[in-house]
């Protein structure tokens, strides 16, 4: 999206005084692309870094397993470019036990246990703090990571004093900044798994890996092990009973949606995906700019317990 002034990103004070000279020193904002000299130079000016994290899990017959990681990575890359901050490569594995399906089904999901995810996120954070980063912003693209992440975010903060943030730039039940963008009515769950939003974003990312010829509208339903007096419409672990959501059950994804697609992806377009990425990225960028002004005092930097 280009505005009348030719700026790719609107309403962002991303070119602060001296920022153009700062930008010219870096070929990339991806930590993995940079050399030791580059990282030292960056840390002489800024102490914040973004960490995209999500999952590698099935998204039905028409979307790639990378889908959630695409959300986190794309937002991180765009924010980094907007405001000249660094990001790590994505953590592409996440907590996805519900997406494994029955053995031998070939769904492809790679899940890690909650304890493994917590250790992984902890060690990534502690490594970055060890090197001199004081502000770690995790950009999450996978809803189920939210179920388990709080203990490690607190541990990083309590252990080191660093500023730790966790951002969720996507839409499931919460429309937020994407209000009015999707065409699907609410009952067609536009923000859910492989529906209109995720399909649009994948089209904007790489339309060559999206198989719209396979896209179909499928609705979630109550698992067979529950009585018909209960009702289910989306991918949350809670269900409705007598019109209220007080009951929660551990359910596998294929128990309430066989195809893996919750909703209607047929109205997805590349343009909607680009606009969704723009809105989400600009919002996150403005928040990150604010966090750069927060006083932070790291009291424990060295990552001593880094072996076992």
CB distance 230 to 246 below 8 Å: no
Closest CA to 14 of 111, 79, 109: 79
CATH number for the domain that contains residue 51? 3.40.50.10310
Q: Is residue 207 part of a domain?
A: no
CB distance 193 to 57 below 8 Å: no
Q: Is residue 102 part of a domain?
A: yes
What are φ and ψ of residue 24, in 5° steps? -65, -15
Residue pLDDT tens, the chain, 308 long:
333 333 445 555 554 555 788 999 999 999 999 999 999 999 999 999 999 999 999 999 999 999 999 999 999 999 999 999 999 999 999 999 999 999 999 999 999 999 999 999 999 999 999 999 999 999 999 999 999 999 999 999 999 999 999 999 999 888 999 999 999 998 899 999 999 999 999 999 999 999 999 999 999 999 999 999 999 999 988 999 999 999 999 999 999 999 999 999 999 999 999 999 999 999 999 999 999 999 999 999 999 999 98
Q: Is residue 166 part of a domain?
A: yes
CB distance 58 to 109 below 8 Å: yes
Q: Is residue 226 part of a domain?
A: no
Q: Is residue 101 part of a domain?
A: yes
Cα(165)–Cα(151) distance, integer angstroms = 13
Cα(115)–Cα(5) distance, integer angstroms = 49
Give the number of domains in the chain.
1
Print the domain residue range for 80.
19-170+278-291
Dihedral (CA of 206, 212, 217, 221) sign: negative
Cα(281)–Cα(272) distance, integer angstroms = 14
Q: Is residue 116 part of a domain?
A: yes
């Amino acid at each position: 999206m280009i505005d009348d002034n030719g700026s790719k990103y609107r309403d962002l004070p991303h070119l602060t005084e001296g920022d153009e000279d700062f930008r010219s020193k870096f070929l990339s904002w991806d930590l993995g692309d940079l050399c030791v000299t580059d990282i030292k130079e960056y840390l002489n000016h800024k102490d914040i870094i973004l960490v995209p994290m999500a999952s590698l899990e099935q998204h039905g017959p028409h979307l790639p397993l990378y889908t959630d990681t695409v959300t986190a990575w794309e937002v991180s890359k765009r924010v980094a470019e907007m405001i000249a901050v660094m990001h790590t490569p994505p953590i592409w594995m996440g907590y996805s036990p519900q997406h494994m399906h029955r053995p031998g089904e070939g769904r492809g999901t790679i899940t890690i246990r909650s304890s493994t995810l917590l250790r992984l996120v902890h060690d990534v954070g502690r490594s970055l703090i060890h090197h001199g980063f004081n502000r770690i912003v995790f950009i999450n693209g996978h809803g189920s990571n939210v179920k388990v992440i709080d203990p490690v975010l607190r541990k990083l903060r309590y252990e080191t004093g660093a500023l730790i943030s966790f951002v969720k730039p996507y839409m499931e039940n919460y429309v937020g900044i994407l209000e009015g963008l999707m065409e699907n009515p609410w009952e067609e769950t536009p923000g859910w798994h492989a529906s209109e939003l995720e399909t649009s974003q994948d089209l904007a990312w790489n339309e060559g890996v999206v198989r719209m010829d396979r896209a179909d509208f499928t609705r979630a339903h109550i698992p067979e092990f529950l009585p018909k007096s209960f009702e289910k419409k989306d991918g949350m672990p809670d269900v409705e009973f007598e019109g209220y959501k007080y009951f929660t059950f551990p359910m596998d994804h294929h128990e309430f949606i066989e195809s893996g697609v919750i909703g209607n992806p047929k109205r997805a377009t590349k343009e909607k995906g680009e606009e969704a990425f723009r809105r989400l990225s600009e919002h996150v960028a403005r928040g990150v700019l604010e966090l750069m002004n927060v006083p932070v005092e790291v009291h424990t930097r060295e990552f001593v317990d880094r072996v076992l």
